């Protein structure tokens, strides 16, 4: 297992053996070196480890994807059916019954694109949050950057998003969406959603290890977040005096930006800037908190 100083050295054993103790330092040159300091000495970020263990992140993601698609009989279909049925439901309620106006985008396309991004986000956050507790043996029996466990859960969600995007493309064609250059920004907004999800998941996962009942509060908080985000309704329908709530919500810029990239409508760059700043700051804070609490995971979990 490689240590934080990065590259492993298979050659270290072939290094000439030094007979005298004084030469010991020379004999150990190039060997990965780790200094494990006491808890009191503060947080060790060990950023080098993230790189040293990068392949493990791939394997953990691959495992999460594989297991998810193996466990359910319907496999891939399930990933499409969920947002599809939700979309049909919302179309019926908001569009047909409540006569909600989704502007230039046909409501089913509007709702499906929002639900696709939101479903990814909320599944990523909840599975990321619970990932540490459901991988107890990984936490207590082996060392690697634990941040990879929630990260893999978030990354695995991207595969679902990719599958769901196939139906989105079909809907876009069906409704005759005029695709512009802006479509290249779609992955950027997906990445932004993933960054926000990762920040949230890291923070929530680290806190859940210590405070278990956070797990029960999470679904409720996510639902609250969904209804304060323009997932199934456009920003326009919100009364002026409540707009600021949406403007502060980092999901607003992501959802609206995602739709704008798809349909070629105008971007609200201010909302996008809020999302970028929020996601980046949250990720930095979350990573720091996670690293700080990480050292106690094995003792507490």
Q: Which range of residues in 28-36, 73-81, 85-93, 251-259 is near another protein by CB under 8 A?
A: 28-36
CA 151 to chain centre: 6
Among 27, 163, 167, 183, binds another protein (CB under 8 A): 27
What is residue 267's DSSP assignment?
A: -
141 binds another protein (CB under 8 A): yes
Pick 42 or 239: Cβ nearer another protein: 42
Q: Is 142 in the site for another protein (CB under 8 A)?
A: yes
Cα gap 197→293, rounded to integer Å: 19
For the range 250-255, what are the long-range contacts, defined as Cβ-Cβ under 8 Å and sequence gap of 24 or more?
A: 250/196, 250/274, 250/275, 250/278, 250/279, 250/282, 251/118, 251/121, 251/193, 251/196, 251/225, 251/275, 253/192, 254/117, 254/189, 254/192, 254/193, 254/196, 255/114, 255/117, 255/118, 255/229, 255/230, 255/231
Contact flag: residue 238 with another protein (CB under 8 A): no
Does residue 301 belong to the site contacting another protein (CB under 8 A)? yes
Give every CB contact of residue 269 below 8 A, 6+ residues apart in sequence: none
CB neighbour list of residue 234: distance below 8 Å, 6 or more residues apart: 101, 102, 103, 110
Q: According to the binding rule CB under 8 A, does residue 73 interact with another protein? A: no
Q: Between residues 144 and 233, which has the closer beta carbon with respect to another protein? A: 144
Determine if 16 is a binding residue for another protein (CB under 8 A). no
Buried b (16+ CB within 10 A) or exposed e, 204-229: bbbbbbeeeeebeebeeebeebbebb
Of 16, 70, 178, 227, which one interacts with another protein (CB under 8 A)? 70
Between 75 and 187, whose beta carbon lies closer to another protein?
75
- Give yes or no for residue 66 binding another protein (CB under 8 A): yes
Measured from the CB atom, is 88 or 134 closer to another protein? 134
Q: List binders of another protein among 210-229 (CB under 8 A).
A: 210-214
Determine if 11 is a binding residue for another protein (CB under 8 A): no
Specify the residue, 3 or 198, whose C-beta has the smaller distance to another protein: 3
Minimum distance from residue 101 beta carbon to another protein (Å): 42
Radius of gyration of the chain (CA): 23
Q: CB of 37: closest distance to another protein in angstroms?
A: 5
Residues that bind another protein (CB under 8 A): 1-3, 8-10, 12-13, 17-21, 23-25, 27-28, 31-41, 53, 55-56, 58-60, 62-63, 66-67, 70-71, 135, 137-144, 209-214, 295-296, 298-301
């Amino acid at each position: 297992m490689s240590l934080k100083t990065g590259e492993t050295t298979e050659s270290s054993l072939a290094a000439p053996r030094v007979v005298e103790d004084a030469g010991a330092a020379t004999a150990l040159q190039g060997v990965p070196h780790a200094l494990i300091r006491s808890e009191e000495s503060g947080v060790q970020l060990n950023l080098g480890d993230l790189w040293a263990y990068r392949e493990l992140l791939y394997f953990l993601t691959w495992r999460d994807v594989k297991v998810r698609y193996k466990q359910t009989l319907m496999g891939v279909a399930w990933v499409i059916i969920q947002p599809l049925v939700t979309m049909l439901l919302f179309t019926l309620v908001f569009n047909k019954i409540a006569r909600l106006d989704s502007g230039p985008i046909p409501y089913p396309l509007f709702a499906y694109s929002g639900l696709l991004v939101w479903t990814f986000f909320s599944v990523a956050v909840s599975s990321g949050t619970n990932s540490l507790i459901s991988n107890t043996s990984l936490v207590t029996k082996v060392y690697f950057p634990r941040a990879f466990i929630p990260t893999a859960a978030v990354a695995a969600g991207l595969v679902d998003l990719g599958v769901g995007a196939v139906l989105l493309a079909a809907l876009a064609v069906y409704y005759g969406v005029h695709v512009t250059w802006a479509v290249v920004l779609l992955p950027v907004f997906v990445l932004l959603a993933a960054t926000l999800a990762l920040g949230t998941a890291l923070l929530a996962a680290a806190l859940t290890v210590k405070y278990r009942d956070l797990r029960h509060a999470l679904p409720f908080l996510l639902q609250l977040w969904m209804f304060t985000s323009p997932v199934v309704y456009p920003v326009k329908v919100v009364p002026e005096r409540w707009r600021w709530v949406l403007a502060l919500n980092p999901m607003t810029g992501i959802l609206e930006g995602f739709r704008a990239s798809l349909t070629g409508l105008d971007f609200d760059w201010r909302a996008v800037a809020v999302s970028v700043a929020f996601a980046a700051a949250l990720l930095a804070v979350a990573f720091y908190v996670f690293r700080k609490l990480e050292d106690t995971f094995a003792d507490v979990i």
